[in-house]
Amino acid sequence: MTDTDYFKTFCKISKAFGTTLKKGEILEIILQSAIDTMGGKAACIFLNTDDPEEDVFVPVAQKGLSENYLHAAPMNARKIVDNILKGGYLAIRDAASDERAENHAAKKAEGIASMLVVPIMVRNKAIGVLSLYTATPRDFSEEEAAFLGALAEQGGMAIQNSRLFERINKNSDLFYEMSSSINSSLDIKKIMHIMSASICEAFGMKGVSIRLYNPESDTMDLMASYGLSEKFLNKGPVSPETSENVAQILEGETIYIRDVATDPRVHYGEEAKNEGIKSMLCIPIMSREEVIGEMRLCSGVEREFSEDVIRLVEALADQGGIAIQNASMYLMLQEDKKDLEKEVWSHRQWF
């Protein structure tokens, strides 16, 4: 291939990426371009999973490979990325025996002779790899590796944009579904159970707890939880005096704690560590611009929370605050109704 051919391919790819946000179509463009331009037998894209606990890349799209090959074990993400990043790419002449490659028997059975693997990078972080396979042994040139790397880089940006688009749609659907569930009841306990369980499952948390502020005792009293042990939940009082982050919560601030074992704002760090909690997101529950409680999302792995996820959880907490306030007002009306009925009945006794 000449530089002109590579340039024409990139012009075609850039134009195609600008016409779609559908991830499937983007992956198809990347694969077909790699095979056509470099004369490969097949190509496959492996991407990281949504589960931060899994350190693997799984196949998400392929061309020229059989189902049997794709059902082999997924790539070990850290191992393959470390090998690639050492030189910017991984070129293997004999894919059926080279120790840097995985699943030797599957590659041999598939008729794969050589392979070229490059990382798919987004913001200096590998989110996956692009693999090109050939049917005959081949020594890849620096130019070929550079082209495939540039293709993967372009594809990475397009994939990230597609993921963002999908996440926005998913978050919108999630907000609608959970808001409907939260506002479907006037039972305060049921509302808080729905909040804790649904948010825990939706965001892949280890556990979620909800506490309401008691101004008389100046404490956050546990009202609902999901996924957390009784021992951890009963660890001790949660108040502005015992925890710096509670004071911040009462000021209406959202608190993100990346490492609960070392963050000085966490009062019960040892208990959290024993519970298997690595990171936490603490969200104030608001009602009429006043903090009435807090919701804590506890992660079993150290993780970052994207800005859109934080905003979504804050919005759900606000919905929960409104629902709790409405339920409280309903209970007050019920009590007032009972008092009124008693008063009317007592007046009837006079006649």
Domain end residue (candidates: 100, 131, 165): 165
Domain end residue (candidates: 135, 165, 195): 165
| CATH number, residue 31 | 3.30.450.40
Question: Is residue 177 a part of any domain in this protein?
Answer: no
Chain centroid offset of residue 215 CA: 35
Question: Is residue 309 a part of any domain in this protein?
Answer: yes
Tell me, yes or no, whether 211 and 116 share the same domain. Answer: no
* Spatial CA neighbour of 322 closest among 168, 178, 207: 178
Cα separation, 87 vs 83, whole angstroms: 8
What is the per-residue pLDDT across 331-350, written as a single tens digit (0 to 9) for each?
776 665 565 556 555 544 54
Tokens of 39: 């004369």
Tell me, yes or no, whether 148 and 210 share the same domain. Answer: no
Cα separation, 52 vs 248, whole angstroms: 28
In the chain the beta strands, taken as DSSP E runs, fall at: 42-48, 56-63, 75-76, 90-92, 114-122, 125-134, 207-214, 219-226, 255-257, 279-287, 290-299
Tell me, yes or no, whether 154 and 249 share the same domain. Answer: no
Q: Calculate the alpha carbon distances from 49 to 60, 62, 76, 127, 309 in Å.
A: 10, 17, 12, 9, 17
Tell me, yes or no, whether 326 and 194 share the same domain. Answer: yes
Tell me, yes or no, whether 142 and 228 share the same domain. Answer: no
Tell me, yes or no, whether 238 and 297 share the same domain. Answer: yes
| Mean pLDDT (whole number) for 259-274 | 88
Cα separation, 332 vs 186, whole angstroms: 12
| Mean pLDDT (whole number) for 16-23 | 66
What does the pLDDT read at residue 197? 92
Question: Is residue 175 a part of any domain in this protein?
Answer: no
Tell me, yes or no, whether 99 and 34 share the same domain. Answer: yes
Q: Calculate the alpha carbon distances from 13 to 40, 114, 120, 317 in Å.
A: 18, 25, 16, 43
CB-based contact 224:294 (threshold 8 Å)? no
Instruction: Decide: pTM greater than 0.85.
Output: no
Whose tokens are 């079993």? That residue is 300
What does the pLDDT read at residue 45? 86
Residue-range definition of the domain harbouring residue 63: 3-165
Cα separation, 2 vs 242, whole angstroms: 68
Tell me, yes or no, whether 97 and 244 share the same domain. Answer: no
What does the pLDDT read at residue 112? 94
Question: Is residue 170 a part of any domain in this protein?
Answer: no
Tell me, yes or no, whether 194 and 140 share the same domain. Answer: no
CB-based contact 89:153 (threshold 8 Å)? no
Pick the residue with more confidence: 342 or 172?
172
Tell me, yes or no, whether 138 and 274 share the same domain. Answer: no
Question: Is residue 174 a part of any domain in this protein?
Answer: no
Q: Calculate the alpha carbon distances from 109 to 97, 103, 113, 202 in Å.
A: 12, 10, 10, 40
Cα separation, 293 vs 283, whole angstroms: 9
| Mean pLDDT (whole number) for 230-248 | 86
Domain end residue (candidates: 115, 135, 165): 165
Question: Is residue 323 a part of any domain in this protein?
Answer: yes
Tell me, yes or no, whether 288 and 337 share the same domain. Answer: yes
Tell me, yes or no, whether 142 and 199 share the same domain. Answer: no
What is the per-residue pLDDT across 104-143, written as a single tens digit (0 to 9) for each?
888 999 999 999 999 888 877 888 889 999 999 999 999 9
Question: Is residue 176 a part of any domain in this protein?
Answer: no
Mean pLDDT check: name the lowest of 86-95, 100-109, 160-169.
Answer: 160-169
The count of domains in the chain is: 2
What does the pLDDT read at residue 351? 46
Question: Is residue 351 a part of any domain in this protein?
Answer: no
